[in-house]
Amino acid sequence: PIKDDYIEPHFIIKEDGRHYVTKFLVALIFIEASDLLFAVDSIPAVLAVTQDTFIVVTSNIFAILGLRSLYFALSKLLPMFRYIKYALAIILAF
């Protein structure tokens, strides 16, 4: 069962002797599933370049790790761009 009203940011909470999953864990599962989906999706693109299994696996692992670290770097830089929301809206509308 998923607990809607949570006070502290935990993945699993115990209340009245029962364990509940919070929305944080559900969000984490969806994020990790999308990472895995994009990693599996990029395997045919790498296989078009090379047939070496080692290169295919390591390139996908490094891509996931690189994107994760890039997210944290961009999250710190985002306040510097005042008009980023408007620019993204124009680009997406185009």
pLDDT at 90: 92
DSSP letter for 51, please. -
Say whether pTM exceeds 0.75. no
Domain spans in the chain, listed from the N-terminal domain onward: 2-93
H or E element in which residue 67 lies: helix 53-77
- pLDDT tens across 44-93, in order? 888 888 888 888 888 878 877 777 777 777 778 888 888 888 888 898 89
What is the distance between the alpha carbons of residues 20 and 7, in angstroms, rounded to a whole number?
A: 13
pLDDT at 93: 93
Joined tokens for residue 74: 């961009």
- pLDDT tens across 13-55, in order? 888 888 888 888 888 899 888 877 877 777 788 888 888 888 8
pLDDT at 6: 67
**Reduced to 3 states, what is the DSSP secondary structure of residue 21?**
strand
